[in-house]
Amino acid sequence: MYNRDEDKYQKAKKRVEEIKGFYSNLITYLIVIPLLGYLNYRTTDFPWAIFPAVGWGLGLLFHGICAFGFNPFLGRDWEERKMKELMNSDEF
């Protein structure tokens, strides 16, 4: 039999793990990028530290969007609504 409380618990647990992963990534970013900036400042005039800062920053942005469940393109709970729609469809 389907246990709704267990399902909610598993979803909540997964979301907490995603948020923890995001914060770990953010802390690492906030430590490493300034170190790279300092290394860049001390070694060369070319601002190469911008590339990892922007690349990793974009990855961090998307990680945060996923971890906190914000999806501006499909909206909240889109996947769940779509699955229910397909399950109730006669064509599927």
Backbone angles phi, psi at 25, to 5 degrees: -65, -45
37-55 pLDDT, tens digit each? 999 999 999 999 999 999 9
Identify whether the C-beta of residue 76 lies closer than 8 Å to the C-beta of residue 28.
Answer: no
Q: What total of structural domains would you count in the chain?
A: 1
pTM metric for this prediction: 0.72
58-88: pLDDT as tens digits: 999 999 988 887 776 666 677 777 777 888 8
**Domain enclosing residue 57, as ranges:** 4-88
CA distance 61 to 82: 25
